[in-house]
Structure 1
Amino acid sequence: MTKSFSDFRYMTFDVVGTLIDFEGGLVDTLAAIAREAGVAFDGEQALNLYRSARYMPDVQHFPDDLVRVYGVIAPKLGLPAGESHGRRLRDAVKDWRPFPDSAAALARLAKRYKLIAMTNAQRWAFEHFARALGNPFYAGFTVDDTGTEKPDPRFFEQVFAFVETDGGSRDQILHVAQSQYHDIGISRRLGLTNCWIQRRHAQPGYGGTIEPENFTEPDFHFTSMAGLADAVESSLAA
Structure 2
Amino acid sequence: MSKSFADFRYLTFDVVGTLIDFEGGITGTLAEIGREAGVAVDGEAALALYRAARYMPEAQRFPDDLARVYGVIAPKLGLPAGEEFGARLRDGAATWSAFPDSAAALARLARHYRLIAMTNAQRWAFEHFARTLGNPFHAGFTVDDTGTEKPDPEFFRHVFRFVESEGATPDQILHVAQSQYHDIGISRRLGMTNCWIERRHAQPGYGGTIEPERFTEPDFHFTSMAALADAVEASLPA
Question: What TM bracket, shorter-length normalisation?
Answer: over 0.9
Between the two proteins, the alignment pairs up a number of residues equal to: 238
Counterpart AA for 2:28 = D
Contact 1:198 1:221 in 2 (8 A): yes
Q: Does 1:158 align with 2:158?
A: yes
Question: For 1:40 and 1:152, how far apart are their aligned partners in 2?
Answer: 37
Question: For 2:21 and 2:84, how far apart are their aligned partners in 1?
Answer: 23
Q: Does 1:18 align with 2:14?
A: no
Q: Does 1:77 align with 2:77?
A: yes
For 1:217, the equivalent position in structure 2 comes to 217
CA-based RMSD of the aligned residues comes to 0.8
Task: Please state whether the residue corresponding to 2:117 is helix, strand or coil.
Answer: strand
For 2:201, the equivalent position in structure 1 comes to 201
Alignment of 1:33-182 (within 5 A): 33-182=33-182
Question: For 2:54 and 2:130, how far apart are their aligned partners in 1?
Answer: 23
Shift of 1:237: 3.8
For residues 118-159 of structure 1, the C-alpha deviation after alignment (integer angstroms, 9 at most, x for no partner) is 000000000000000000000000000000000000000000
Question: For 1:127 and 1:182, how far apart are their aligned partners in 2?
Answer: 21
Contact 1:2 1:193 in 2 (8 A): no
For residues 25-68 of structure 1, the C-alpha deviation after alignment (integer angstroms, 9 at most, x for no partner) is 00000000000000121000000000000000000000000000
Question: For 1:189 and 1:88, how far apart are their aligned partners in 2?
Answer: 38
Question: For 2:125 and 2:92, how far apart are their aligned partners in 1?
Answer: 10
Question: For 1:45 and 1:64, how far apart are their aligned partners in 2?
Answer: 22
Counterpart AA for 2:196 = W
Runs of 4+ in 1 over 6 A off after TM superposition: none
Q: TM-score when scaled to structure 1?
A: 0.99
Identity %: 81
Shift of 1:161: 0.2
For 2:235, the equivalent position in structure 1 comes to 235
Task: Please state whether the residue corresponding to 1:115 is helix, strand or coil.
Answer: strand
Counterpart AA for 1:53 = A
Task: Please state whether the residue corresponding to 2:115 is helix, strand or coil.
Answer: strand
For residues 59-83 of structure 1, the C-alpha deviation after alignment (integer angstroms, 9 at most, x for no partner) is 0000000000000000000000011
Task: Please state whether the residue corresponding to 2:28 is helix, strand or coil.
Answer: helix
Question: For 2:217 and 2:83, how far apart are their aligned partners in 1?
Answer: 41
Question: For 1:169 and 1:107, how far apart are their aligned partners in 2?
Answer: 23
Question: For 1:141 and 1:93, how far apart are their aligned partners in 2?
Answer: 18
Q: TM-score when scaled to structure 2?
A: 0.99
Counterpart AA for 2:218 = P
**Runs of at least 5 residues in structure 1 that lack an aligned partner in the other structure:** none
Shift of 1:115: 0.2
For residues 188-233 of structure 1, the C-alpha deviation after alignment (integer angstroms, 9 at most, x for no partner) is 0000000000000000000000000000000000000000000000
Shift of 1:2: 2.7
